[in-house]
Structure 1
């Protein structure tokens, strides 16, 4: 693919992902993995709920069989914040660990990544590595400790990526750290860990998978992004759609078509949940290198400015809009907006998801993808727009203000956005059916 943009456009794409081990029961092997790494003291990161469930118990037994010394950190916050990260970082610095083990969903894995990063950079200020413009966006040049991520949701794909996301409380908006150094040494995908997941968690993490795949497939092309970095280590983790990520993203979509609804509706359907676990990893490899764009960019203030909303099947003691819900709620409006920039990709994605794309015109690309998304959303009982999450038209200026700093992802939109276009998409998302 040759660049057709400005002379200083990017011309290369760099593939990075964790080693992945997949199979029912493979989480029993992590003790042996850490023994093989010569780990002497391990920080086991999980959350209060999972700490009492089978996935963590299996891992603890594996560590004890190998006589691995470990300490459990279970204060992970669902949808972590800079403050909850700071607590985990303090624990990590005090413990002087030589390896890290995360057992949980994206919140747990992201917290573990942050603990590893800052324990290995004890003199760094917190904002040093946080994405610009909120943070300084410095590259990570130090070697981090080994990190094994046992993923217990079919959603975030964090076991494959060098990205960690959190709510930055001073701005009431999500941001993150994105650097290849953060990617786990090994991502463990054990379908047996999914059998504990309730309906809404399976649903919202599944929509995160779907949006990861769609956003990475429709992101700006890697060779249209500029300026290219002067130093390869400054090449961002999110590089735009590219021929390698496309393969993973499209395959994740095809799995969603066949197994997503089944996985949500039947907690004992191990085949469907296993396939969605793979789809999460595949989409993670796709977006971990291509990036996401507007659905995620607008999701950050939607979740960060939550008022009183609490979702069934989630048990935090604070208001919470689950990440996957905050992402998918604007997706129909987003894909209608960006479709003119890459209509062929919208039509292709809609076809993979099951839409009849026979004789679909390019001018209808956004509508056909939006319609198929709305069918999935309706069947799986997604709330009717951000109004049902507690927002009104009066809140839109604040949601726009929270989206504008998310340049790490919004700049990956294939169609340029501004305050007015973001406002329009949020207005369309007040009600969606």
Structure 2
């Protein structure tokens, strides 16, 4: 029986995290780390861009020097789809590795998670996908070892049990969430971010920022009903003392270093600190969960028409994940601030806002205005209009976000389609 209070609400929280090695040059440890896990034949996942960089060669060389057979899969799609997940899973099933390595951003890491899942425990694709889009079937057992090596300072996927993709038939993002998907280890090497273009650093860093903000302001874990069994406690537990620690420090670091990291690729201190913030926020949201801005972001990215961001692959229109999140964030936090003004003001202060004299009624405005200032400083579009939407799109965007019930239930306010549509309206233009 689960721990609960006399009123029937949750009484405990669970902390899970991957083993993490952090530091410049640690990618060279990959072969020894993989060998220690008993891996002899590895599927090395990456995307076409990363596969042409030194970081990929470093990873492959380290694995081969350790005597490990390497089979590379470098066709990962940036912003994966159900079709690209299926292709990766087919590769994994055919090559039958006994371990997985992902070298890349969140798209690469998530694709490796999915390939590992479907090759290890074959099922119809939608079986494991989050309800109500899929069946939400629990993963039946452990997966093969997976070492994640992030090359962007953003998604936190290296320490979470979540894999996100575009479901083409719905024109919306959804995902698979299970502790079994969490990578066995993460090698977080800030050297991998030294060559990232400014816009990529900005988008990934703003994803980190919203991970921390959403986890810190999520529905508290104590307001949840207890799970049927302790082992069924969800990863999105809501704000809890453990996640609060990571969120607060991540916000402080981003307030101090994000703009520097975007402005100057040679500022190695800033790039390193933003990557550490990404790791902290990843652990936090992997145990607390995100809410409204991320739920909205999946519709924004899924319904994109013609927008093509700078420094990203330009074959198809896309809204980068971090951009699609932050464009909703000011409007979303204006709506949630009344639930806990102190938390919203603390978050704003950690990010560098001047909160002197601000009272509870000011929390939403103070936080939203500071987020808008950060967006402008790092070159984000002016709200959803900046990526091609208008107010006439709000109902369709709300419909696209509505299936994200795992995230919406984690928000500190009750959300229906009307609230979603209104928040999309308020996200259209900020200045």
Which category describes the TM-score, using the shorter chain as reference length?
over 0.9
Which digits, 9 at most, give the CA deviation of each residue in 1:63-109, with x for residues without a partner? 12112101110111111011000000000001111000000000000
Give the structure 2 partner of residue 282 of structure 1: 280
Shift of 1:327: 0.1
Deviations 1:160-182 (A, max 9, x none): 11111111111111111111111
> Deviations 1:353-402 (Å, cap 9, x if unpaired)?
11122221101110111111111111111101111111112211110100
Partner secondary structure for residue 238 of structure 2: coil
Residue in structure 2 matching 1:301, options 299, 302, 320: 299
Match of residue 137 from structure 1: 136
Contact 1:160 1:288 in 2 (8 A): yes
How far the C-alpha of 1:37 sits from its partner, in A, is: 2.0
The answer to whether residue 110 in structure 2 is matched with residue 82 in structure 1 is no
Q: Is the 8 A contact 1:78 1:316 kept in 2?
A: no
Is the Cα–Cα contact under 8 Å of residues 392 and 430 in structure 1 kept in the other structure? yes
Contact 2:76 2:84 in 1 (8 A): yes
Give the structure 2 partner of residue 110 of structure 1: 110
SS state of the match for residue 102, structure 1? Answer: strand
Q: 228-237 vs 161-170, which deviates more?
A: 228-237
The match for 1:192 is 191
1:415 equivalent among 407, 413, 420 = 413
Matched residue of 2:149: which SS?
strand
The separation in 2 between residues aligned to 1:299 and 1:176, in whole angstroms, is: 13
Measured against aligned partners, the alpha-carbon deviations of 1:107-150 in whole angstroms (never above 9, x if no partner) come to 0000000111111102x111111111111112223111000000
* Residue 27 of structure 1: aligned partner: 27
Q: Conserved in 1, the CA contact under 8 Å of 2:256 and 2:352?
A: no
1:316, distance to aligned residue in structure 2 (A): 4.0
Q: Distance in 1 between matches of 2:31 and 2:391?
A: 52
1:323, distance to aligned residue in structure 2 (A): 0.3
State the distance in 2 between where 1:180 and 1:399 align: 29
1:207-222, aligned counterparts within 5 Å? 207-222=206-221
1:55 matches 2:55 = yes
Q: 2-side partners of 1:248 and 1:369: how far apart? A: 19
CA contact (8 A) 1:3 1:224 kept: no
Shift of 1:3: 7.5
The DSSP-based 3-state class of the residue aligned with 1:164 is strand
Give yes or no for contact 2:199–2:379 (8 Å, CA) kept in 1.
no
For the pair 1:173 / 2:176, whether they are aligned, the reply is no
In structure 1, distance between residues paired with 2:40 and 2:325: 40
Q: Give the SS at the match of 2:48.
A: coil
State how far apart, in whole Å, the 2-side matches of 1:172 and 1:234 are: 30
The residue number in structure 2 matching 1:326 is 324
**8 Å CA contact retained: 2:221, 2:239:** yes
* Residues matched between the structures, number: 429
Residue 155 in structure 1 maps to residue 154 in structure 2 = yes
C-alpha distance in structure 2 between counterparts of 1:137 and 1:212, whole Å: 23
2:333·2:364 contact (CA, 8 Å) conserved in 1? yes
* Residue in structure 2 matched with residue 260 of structure 1 by the alignment: 258
The answer to whether the 8 A contact 1:214-1:349 is kept is yes
> Per-residue CA shift, 1:196-221, capped at 9, x if unaligned?
21111000000000000000000000
> Which of 337, 340, 353 does residue 339 from structure 1 map onto?
337
**Distance in 2 (alpha carbons) for counterparts of 1:421 and 1:398:** 13
Q: Is 2:357 the counterpart of 1:365?
A: no
Change (3 A) 1:211 1:225: same
1:346 and 1:143 map into 2 onto residues whose CA distance is 38
Distance 2:87 2:7 in 1: 46
- TM-score of the two chains, using structure 2 as the length reference: 0.98
C-alpha separation in 2, matches of 1:356 and 1:64: 52
Q: Which moved more, 1:62-71 or 1:243-252?
A: 62-71
Structure 2 SS opposite 1:196: coil
Structure 2: gaps spanning 5 or more residues: none
Using structure 1 for the length normalisation, give the TM-score.
Answer: 0.97
Contact 1:139 1:234 in 2 (8 A): no
Equivalent position SS for 2:186: strand
The answer (yes or no) to whether the contact 1:157–1:281 under 8 Å persists in 2 is: yes
